[in-house]
Amino acid sequence: MAKIAFARAKSALVAAAMTALLAILAGPAAAQPVRIKDIADLEGVRDNQLVGYGLVVGLAGTGDRLRTAIFTRQTLIGMLERLGVNTRDNEARLETKNVAAVMVTANLPAFARPGSRIDIAVSALGDATNLQGGTLLVTPLLGADGEVYAVAQGAVATGAIAARGAAASVQRGVPTSARIASGAIVEREIPYALAGRPSLRLALRNPDLTTARRIAAAVNRAAGSGIANATDPRTVALNLQGRDPVAFLAEIEQLRVEPDQVARVVIEEASGTIVMGSNVRVSTVAIAQGNLTIRITETPQVSQPNPLSNGETVTVPRTNIEVDDQAERRLGILRGGITLQELVRGLNALGVGPRDLISILQTIKAAGALQAELELR
């Protein structure tokens, strides 16, 4: 009896804990303050895109076909000539399948100094089928101004699996795209000096007037009045007043503010994904959703004659038709000013799936009852 009582008490305790957890999860979540460094960047401090063209060698017969990939053939001949190998006389007999022309891309981070290493991405340019096991030869990486800022080289790694047989094939990932960790060495830096600047500007990643003013207020409380000023929804100007920029930025980037957000509903119709912000509100509206579905199923049966008879075996059609007009669906009313949680609960009560929810939200917006920005992607 003691064991039974203990089991019942344990079950009741677990049920109470689960109820409390569900109540916490269902309750309205308070907005949490975040660091300034997580929602804003220093204006002018950014990555720069680099691009280059090169060759990957050492492939196991999965490279470009030189007869069709003319650029691969010409690049290979030019490279061999620079190394002292003359292939012009036998150009027509050059039929290797172990070479692939690739595009190399990378991001040069801010304050990268000569000698530091960066990651690169390698993508097949011709008809190569797999870059696994290849080696990228020395490839200069150019910036938008045409200058060389890094040089890439190294063994590529695709992380993909591709196997093909006579009647089947298996592929996981993309074998024609690869990466080389720390595969490029920076040769030239892009200068940006923080020292000596009388002012700086913070750029918000998500522009918002309220968030910008909150950032300026937090900085002014910590560093003194008149230091920060929100000039527009994306920019907060900082007056250093002779302070060390590095030390000042290190201090204010740890300040916490509560970011605001626009009431927005984002719909991606291709995947049926719906994301709604916490500030989304709906005016009083009645919703009825349903579709007419007709399902026709063919299950033909075989009719055979009796033994020792002169009959023939024939196929007898059997058709089953089902009509679902979803008559059990009822008209639902969503009260005005409801929260996001109540909106989701009400739509789920109507048995609405993601695809139907997309059309419902679009119709509510067209009726003027959705007090939020509707963004379709």
Q: Provide mean pLDDT across the span 251-257.
A: 93
Lowest-confidence segment of 10-19, 57-66, 254-263 by average pLDDT: 10-19
Instruction: Let me know whether 122 and 157 are in one domain.
Output: yes
List all residues 6 or more positions away from 313 whose beta carbon is below 8 Å from its beta carbon. Answer: 302, 303, 304, 305
Instruction: Let me know whether 248 and 273 are in one domain.
Output: no
Per-residue pLDDT at 291 exceeds 70: no
Domain boundary (234, 257, 280) is at 257
Per-residue pLDDT at 9 exceeds 50: no
Instruction: Let me know whether 173 and 233 are in one domain.
Output: no
Q: Is 192 helix (H, G, I), strand (E, B) or coil?
A: coil
Instruction: Let me know whether 199 and 92 are in one domain.
Output: no
Question: HSE (CB half, 13 Å, CA atoms) of 364?
Answer: 29
Residue-level pLDDT at 36 = 93
Instruction: Let me know whether 148 and 57 are in one domain.
Output: yes
Per-residue pLDDT at 138 exceeds 90: yes
Q: Is 54 a domain residue?
A: yes
- Residue of higher predicted confidence among 17 and 294: 294
**Which is nearest to 259 in space by CA: 31, 41, 28, 43?**
31
Q: Is 11 a domain residue?
A: no
List all residues 6 or more positions away from 45 whose beta carbon is below 8 Å from its beta carbon. Answer: 110, 111, 192
Domain count, the chain: 3
List all residues 6 or more positions away from 123 whose beta carbon is below 8 Å from its beta carbon. Answer: 102, 103, 105, 176, 177, 178
| Distance (Å, whole) CA 221 – CA 227 | 9
Per-residue pLDDT at 5 exceeds 50: no
Residue-level pLDDT at 24 = 35
Retrieve residue 91's tokens: 């150009």
**Which is nearest to 107 in space by CA: 98, 116, 99?**
116
pLDDT band with cut points at 50, 70 and 90 for residue 329: low
Q: Is 68 a domain residue?
A: yes
List all residues 6 or more positions away from 60 whose beta carbon is below 8 Å from its beta carbon. Answer: 98, 130, 133
Per-residue pLDDT at 44 exceeds 70: yes
Q: Is 229 a domain residue?
A: yes
- Other CB atoms closer than 10 Å to residue 246's CB: what's the count? 10
**Which is nearest to 287 in space by CA: 335, 342, 224, 235?**
335
Instruction: Let me know whether 349 and 228 are in one domain.
Output: no
Instruction: Let me know whether 167 and 74 are in one domain.
Output: yes
Of the spans 4-18, 163-177, 223-237, which averages the highest pLDDT?
223-237
Per-residue pLDDT at 139 exceeds 90: yes
Q: Is 317 a domain residue?
A: no
In angstroms, the Cα distances linking 86 to 58, 68, 76, 90, 93 are: 20, 22, 11, 9, 13
Q: Is 213 a domain residue?
A: yes
Q: Is 38 a domain residue?
A: no
Predicted confidence (pLDDT) per residue in 195-207, tens digit? 878 899 999 999 9
| Distance (Å, whole) CA 274 – CA 354 | 7
pLDDT band with cut points at 50, 70 and 90 for residue 324: low
Write down the mean pLDDT value for the chain: 80
Instruction: Let me know whether 277 and 359 are in one domain.
Output: yes
Predicted confidence (pLDDT) per residue in 359-373, tens digit? 777 887 887 777 788
Instruction: Let me know whether 220 and 249 are in one domain.
Output: yes
Q: Provide mean pLDDT across the span 178-184.
A: 94
**% of the chain beyond a pLDDT of 70:** 77
Q: Is 308 a domain residue?
A: no
Its pTM stands at 0.68
Instruction: Let me know whether 197 and 179 are in one domain.
Output: no
Retrieve residue 277's tokens: 């912000």
- Residue of higher predicted confidence among 220 and 313: 220
| Distance (Å, whole) CA 28 – CA 344 | 13
| Distance (Å, whole) CA 292 – CA 221 | 62
Instruction: Let me know whether 279 and 251 are in one domain.
Output: no
Per-residue pLDDT at 333 exceeds 90: no
pLDDT band with cut points at 50, 70 and 90 for residue 79: confident
Q: Is 112 helix (H, G, I), strand (E, B) or coil?
A: coil
Residue-level pLDDT at 67 = 84
| Distance (Å, whole) CA 272 – CA 291 | 18
In angstroms, the Cα distances linking 185 to 148, 153, 181 are: 11, 9, 11
Domain boundary (164, 186, 208) is at 186
Per-residue pLDDT at 314 exceeds 80: no
Lowest-confidence segment of 209-213, 253-257, 264-268 by average pLDDT: 264-268
Residue-level pLDDT at 296 = 55
| Unique residue bearing structure tokens 């929260």 | 339
Predicted confidence (pLDDT) per residue in 118-127, tens digit? 999 999 998 9
| Unique residue bearing structure tokens 């292939």 | 87
Residue-level pLDDT at 81 = 85
In angstroms, the Cα distances linking 292 to 29, 272, 324, 347 are: 39, 21, 6, 20
Which stretch of DSSP H or E encloses residue 19? helix 2-26
Residue 199 domain boundaries: 193-257
| Distance (Å, whole) CA 208 – CA 264 | 13
- Residue 274, class by beta-carbon neighbours within 10 Å (0-12 exposed, 13-18 middle, 19+ buried)? middle
Which stretch of DSSP H or E encloses residue 25? helix 2-26
Domain boundary (210, 234, 257) is at 257
Residue-level pLDDT at 229 = 94
